[in-house]
Structure 1
């Protein structure tokens, strides 16, 4: 097959190729053995990239499960797009790198490369966009903190508001969820234990309406809520040196030897929003660092595939598979590419310009005089 390329090679091909690569970015010379070695290494790296794709998928699945554990205390404020992004990117990585391994394995042979020649450039473009998605996923892991904080604030506020609705469908498990959250993360309330003072967290069916104190407390509130300076049992600290004090927290005389200023040993002082935010931030930072390392690895593989593609295309132009060939990242510099694209756009604009001169293509009198009329001689017959 290479005899055809040799016979079709024009005179001075090497000189023209050298001139064409003067402006190339990252130009490297590859011998035949180096091209074959590069193809073999890229085949191995692509298979390793398939494993990194599985890792991306697993990280996204793990993050989704972790968020799903406490989804009841989160609002639907875009907290699931990061794990979905990682899951999708991981599946795409497995497919793209599997195809890349097959391509690089065939590129070790110059004749087999002809089957993939037209596929190489679309494959590199798709891989570039995929690699950009991996980088975007890594950056999302670090930028989601503010959205996660807002989601936790709104979700915990609603969960605490519906804490008492144990007999309402759709809310009956919120009390258990909030209690487990406060016990597991050693936290209390949204931003602190005083958040429980502002809501009615005791169900009305447990209130003794025959008690005048209960009725007076309900009437004293504009919205008719039973508010009290108390917290659920799950706010009690396990490190408290005395039995937990849950009610009348603002009344210093209601308890023996009770000091309101030093009650931090009695209740959890940290809010659950901050506790969950720290928990998820630690997970996000670890995942983000892992995804960033995967992005650097994928970028290395993409660079190697680009060098292999250009080196194999140039050896086809030379017509001899045993010759050295150039490989590069970009055929022209960034400034040259920008200038070329600008000229293309400028020329496209000229195509739509219309001359409004009414005399266009209308010959003038002077022009008619300058153009001699052709005289046709007619033969005279006698």
Structure 2
């Protein structure tokens, strides 16, 4: 039993072909949109790639870019095929191409759906990448004269100012790293020497943060040092301390930023997938309807179109049998010479020929 069987007249087949031609050209535009969104997401990720531990998250924009380019090519070809399929004679030129085209389009739409789902599922991977990358960047914040790390200070300062964040998970993270370069430390000062000696790793740790953590909303000059000692500051108000420094960690700030972008992209990609699925269904109906017209031999007659010629169970069973029988050799169980050596078989054939000649 066919799945989704529909009867088409000649006029309906022609209208379907024209409509699919138009939809395929719209799909070319949607492919360009996919390409643009992939490029945009790649640029956004690469903007802060220095504070990420790995670039595995770039797989999503690369997939969107590849899918967008494939959409432009496949739908451009689909528009040409659908326009020619309105005529029975022109359809014969594309008859052998239609089934591979439908299969390729099916896998292409599956890739679009996978791209939409990946935009949702990448959050955990992105969160771990930001956590490890920010921790690594903060550790080398002070190395402004080391090749490969000289721009980390600038990147982190811009990040904290632009996203109004501080540290990895909070401003206290700066207490655990030496973010002041050793060349700016006065080693003649006993306070500096004692602080270096008190740390097992010989680091100069302070309860202070860089200037980029300061909030411009602070009602007083920013308090950056001795943050764990409120009594060290004149007229310190613990209630209004949240106005002094950014409280949100940069990991959460960047994660919210990228999550918002990917959720918007995934919604658009999901809508594009539904549209492509509609186009694929129409192409399948047009293909089967035109093939049935050729079988009938009358271009003016009605023809049936369907999505699957048999039911889902029968189609799956037949495809499974085809795969199962791949590679098997053709054997005939009733062949009397199947176990007879070749020499004996030739002798029997020659004797049969001699007897035929004698009888003749």
CA deviation after TM superposition for structure 1 residue 350, in Å = 8.4
1:83 maps onto 2:61 in alignment = yes
Provide, for residues 69-120 of structure 1, a one-character-per-residue CA deviation record: whole Å limited to 9, x for no partner.
Answer: 1111111141100000000000000000000000001001110000000000
1:304 maps onto 2:282 in alignment = yes
Paired residue secondary structure (2:304): strand
Paired residue secondary structure (1:79): helix
- Residue number in structure 1 paired with 2:114: 136
Relative to 1, partners in 2 of residues 1:337 and 1:150: Cα closer, same or farther, differing over 3 Å?
Answer: same
In 2, the alpha carbon distance for the partners of 1:224 and 1:95 equals: 60
Relative to 1, partners in 2 of residues 1:344 and 1:124: Cα closer, same or farther, differing over 3 Å?
Answer: closer
CA deviation after TM superposition for structure 1 residue 241, in Å = 1.0
In 1, the alpha carbon distance for the partners of 2:85 and 2:109 equals: 22
Paired residue secondary structure (1:187): coil
Query: Which residue, out of 246, 253, 257, partners 1:279?
Result: 257
1:32 maps onto 2:5 in alignment = no
Higher-Rg structure is: 1
Residue pairs, 1:181-330, within 5 angstroms: 181-260=159-238, 262-330=240-308
Residue pairs, 1:9-158, within 5 angstroms: 23-158=1-136
TM-score, normalised to structure 1, is 0.85
Question: Larger deviation: 68-77 or 271-280?
Answer: 68-77
In 2, the alpha carbon distance for the partners of 1:309 and 1:90 equals: 25
CA deviation after TM superposition for structure 1 residue 352, in Å = 9.7
| Aligned length, in residue pairs | 336
Paired residue secondary structure (1:80): helix
Provide, for residues 111-158 of structure 1, a one-character-per-residue CA deviation record: whole Å limited to 9, x for no partner.
Answer: 000000000000111111111111111111111100110111111111
In 2, the alpha carbon distance for the partners of 1:349 and 1:88 equals: 34
Post-superposition, which runs of at least 4 consecutive aligned residues in structure 1 deviate over 2 A?
259-262, 338-353
TM-score, normalised to structure 2, is 0.90
CA deviation after TM superposition for structure 1 residue 257, in Å = 1.5
In 2, the alpha carbon distance for the partners of 1:93 and 1:287 equals: 16
CA deviation after TM superposition for structure 1 residue 235, in Å = 0.4
Contact 2:49 2:55 in 1 (8 A): no
Alignment RMSD, CA only?
1.9
- Residue number in structure 1 paired with 2:351: none
Relative to 1, partners in 2 of residues 1:109 and 1:345: Cα closer, same or farther, differing over 3 Å?
Answer: closer
Question: Larger deviation: 71-80 or 108-117?
Answer: 71-80
- Residue number in structure 1 paired with 2:345: none
In 2, the alpha carbon distance for the partners of 1:302 and 1:135 equals: 14
Contact 1:249 1:260 in 2 (8 A): no
CA deviation after TM superposition for structure 1 residue 337, in Å = 1.6
Paired residue secondary structure (2:7): strand
CA deviation after TM superposition for structure 1 residue 275, in Å = 0.3
Provide, for residues 277-306 of structure 1, a one-character-per-residue CA deviation record: whole Å limited to 9, x for no partner.
Answer: 000000000000000000000000000000
CA deviation after TM superposition for structure 1 residue 259, in Å = 3.8
Paired residue secondary structure (1:29): strand
Paired residue secondary structure (2:205): coil
Paired residue secondary structure (2:103): helix
In 1, the alpha carbon distance for the partners of 2:75 and 2:250 equals: 42
